[in-house]
Amino acid sequence: MAAAATTLRLLKPLSAASAAPLFALSNNPRLNRSVAPLLLFSSAAVVSRHHHRFCTMVSATVSSGEVTKPEPIDLKKGAKIREFRRRLKIVDIKGGVDEGLNRLGETLEVRGWVRTLRAQSSVTFIEVNDGSCISNMQCVMSSDSEGYDQVESGVISTGASVWIQGTVVASQGSKQKVELKVDKLVTVGTCDPSFPIQKKRVSREFLRTKAHLRPRTNTFGAVSRVRNALAYATHKFFQENGFVWLSSPIITASDCEGAGEQFCVTTLVPNSSEASHSPVNAIPTTKDGSIDWSKDFFGKPAFLTVSGQLNAETYATALTDVYTFGPTFRAENSNTSRHLAEFWMIEPELAFADLEDDMACATAYLQYVVKYILDNCKEDMDFFNTWIEKGIVDRLSDVVEKNVVQLTYTDAVELLLKAKKKFEFPVTWGCDLQSEHERYITEQAFGGCPVIIRDYPKEIKAFYMRQNDDGKTVAAMDMLVPRIGELIGGSQREERLGHLEQRLDDLKLDRESYWWYLDLRRYGSVPHAGFGLGFERLVQFATGIDNIRDAIPFPRAPGSADF
């Protein structure tokens, strides 16, 4: 089916002298750029300024990667919107079992960014990557290819964006099965020589200062694709198991964890440019000198959420099984490799469920998403196995294949006390286990198996966790995994109204702030359970990346909110 929308009329066809595209639109301001007649000129100096118009030409003349002929349309009769089609990517060409050999002789086009360029006496090799996979498309260009003058003039360099049309041929090299014999090349956007992502290796610390450019590296391209696959697998797992996805609020008036590490959301401080020079005494106060929150936007203190769990419980008591997957925030002044101020959380909530159901769900979920990336991200996982963490594929395979071990907190403490290892943080019953303790248990005591520790002391756990019959512990569980330590934390929730009210009082938490949460126990209360998983820690676990700031596109940490 031919595309029927945008008309492209080339008054002068592309020639070898064409260095870059420039399009002149009709002077009629009512015409949309995407449907206006286009004039094509040749000018290397205007590539950057007009590269976005070139994209219109490419999408009009090439549909889903295969060369097509645009059909003229009559604007007087009304133009139909072109049919949307999946674009052909490099992964589609090279990612199959035959690695592209099944496409020999096909004329295709590639759009992407130049990784390397090697000019030899009779031929030029241009490696192009479009982000769909680690593999580049090697484009072989001879001096008679249209657009070769752009190579000679130096317009094409590492980082430049290009559109290349050519024929798939068998590669003469050993690194790939196929390559593209270039018929035509057009520069979409030139790249300034100051481009910091060159072939040489640079540190990840440096790349954090270039977060807008680091996706163009092999490492961060692979992290992004695996992160995407984990997110897709997350939704797939819960949807296949009858859960309903819930959008939990980002702004809240309650503190789920009771930790007080929340970002305040207020309009009492003037916004925009006024904030930088607004006097403190402009904030309204009460007679006793306290902030007058009644004058604020919500009429009370409000914060960025640390968890969507409490909200998920409200819907679990109506829809049975739900899950949230969204951003959460912690105003914790921590600069470790394990903490972020903004991160994503996955939080399922199961009604008519106890701690055993919760542990079963957490285990099934982790094994599902890990198996998904092992099956569907093989090239990226091989990259991590070679360059980031040797043995990561075997480690993840163990998670899928081995049984998860469970033991009580009390047994875990005894195990640590008997360990022939000196820990930085001493172990006593009632202490909160540190990362070094958690990693010892899963990596050494149990040989790399995931381990669930359950029945923690109530003093170190949140108010909403169900109290066990011993009066000392709560029905809580943490899943520990190698290299990360705690990956999942969950519990059976306290469904008994009296017990929950008493717990709030013991912790000096205001019952009025949780009136709606207590209502869930008044009106048709049921046993229910759930867990939370920090998505960036899962990405770390799946990729071997050491620093959590490299597991999220734009990390937010103390003193760092760029990009």
Tokens read off for 75: 């604007």
Angle between helices 355-376 and 378-387 in degrees, nearest 10: 90
Q: Residue 546's pLDDT is what?
A: 95
- Residue 104 in 3-state DSSP? coil
HEC profile of 286-328? CCCCCECHHHCCCCCCEEECCCCHHHHHHHHHHHCEEEEEEEE
> Contact, 63 vs 106, CB < 8 A?
no
The distance from CA 535 to its chain's CA centroid, rounded to whole angstroms, is: 8
Which residue type does 37 have? P
Task: Give bridge partners of residue 529 from the DSSP assignment.
Answer: 350, 492
360 phi-psi bin (left φ>0, alpha ψ -120 to 50, beta other): alpha
Q: How far is CA 538 from CA 345, 405, 530, in A?
A: 10, 19, 17
Q: 541: which residues sit within 8 A by CB, 6+ positions away?
A: 481, 483, 484, 487
Q: Residue 29's pLDDT is what?
A: 38
* Nearest-5° Cα angle at 148, 147 to 150: 75
State the greatest distance between any 2 C-alpha atoms of the chain, in Å, as a whole number: 85
Which residue type does 513 have? S
* Nearest-5° Cα angle at 299, 297 to 300: 110
Counting as low any pLDDT under 70, the low residues of the chain are 1-73, 255-260, 270-278
> Contact, 541 vs 223, CB < 8 A?
no
136 phi-psi bin (left φ>0, alpha ψ -120 to 50, beta other): beta
Cβ of 279: how many Cβ atoms within 10 Å?
Answer: 7
Q: Residue 71's pLDDT is what?
A: 66
